[in-house]
Amino acid sequence: VGMSVDGMPVRASDADRTKEKLRTVMLEKTWRGSYSRIVEVDTHVKLRRKGFARINDMVVHMSEDYLMCQDHTACLDVLSETSEGMELRSNNALQLECLQGGLAGNAACESWRRCVDQAASKERLVTLLLAAGVSPDSGSNAFVAQKTLAVRGGAGAAQDDSADKEEQDADEEQNPSSGQSSDPQALVNTCIDPRIDDPESWLCSCMDDMEKTCVAISPSFSVSAFKTEDCIAAQMCIDPNSQICSAWKTDVGCNGTRFTAYKAAVADHFNAPSPT
């Protein structure tokens, strides 16, 4: 099994090379926020035609606080009860439409909106979704499909039925060092597109820190000029860990005038000496 943990590729031992032609398993740990952790496990298995893969066991541990937030602050337990809820859960554009009062007659939407309203999370989720650049267009089938291709695996994760490609794979199996890059991005594209990432995970892992930063820099702006959603988006643009997709940054205009003052204020905030 070829494996990459935290972006560092690990060679499979000779004993692990089997005739099942298991290509790559990617374990990706994503850290967000100062006090919380999300572990995202992405498995990308590339097989010769008629091959197969089997995962015997996978265990993911999450903190009790994170689980409580997901169930009761983000109200995901409500969405898991029906197929309508699961559709809403998987489509950020529908979530935004629901939270802004749309989707009349959708029982899952009404239950979820009522729950997040009672949990004082509704406006925070709206802010996150708007900051992420979610719009009605991002609910299209073509856009949502990118969740399984561009953001979490890339076109290379799709099956390739060409005979030439199979021959190349066979050659690489006989000679593991040929055609393989030490660059983990050659294995899988793991950048985050906030438009189709999970807003509830952001809410439960890093929204508190981002909101605190916005509160800290807000005195630098007039009340009428300051927008929390732009402040949150600017922090995504700054992206100190280089996790956000460059295409997202281009699409929302991270280098444009909309975010210039916010990015400068955020940078000043984090570069300021700590009070003694």
- Gap between the Cα atoms of 76 and 202, Å rounded: 13
Residue type, 121: S
Q: Describe the strand order of the beta sheet including 2-5 as a list of residue ranges.
A: 8-10, 2-5, 24-31, 37-41
Confidence check: pLDDT of 213 > 60: yes
pLDDT tens across 201-210, in order? 999 988 999 9
According to the model, what pLDDT value does residue 181 have?
41
User: In this predicted structure, which of 12-16, 212-216, 221-225, 239-243 has the lowest mean pLDDT?
Assistant: 12-16
Pairing of strands 2-5, 8-10: antiparallel
Task: Confirm if 229 and 127 have CB atoms less than 8 A apart.
Answer: yes
- Gap between the Cα atoms of 138 and 144, Å rounded: 7
- The model's confidence at residue 273, banded by pLDDT at 50, 70 and 90, is low
User: In this predicted structure, which of 76-90, 183-197, 232-246, 258-272 has the lowest mean pLDDT?
Assistant: 183-197
Residue type, 159: Q
Give me the phi and psi of 10, to 5 degrees please: -120, 125
**Nearest by Cα to 210 from 195, 191, 230:** 230
Mean pLDDT of the chain: 72
Task: Confirm if 75 and 69 have CB atoms less than 8 A apart.
Answer: no
According to the model, what pLDDT value does residue 59 have?
60
According to the model, what pLDDT value does residue 57 have?
62
According to the model, what pLDDT value does residue 171 have?
45
**Nearest by Cα to 31 from 209, 270, 211, 254:** 209
- The model's confidence at residue 247, banded by pLDDT at 50, 70 and 90, is very high
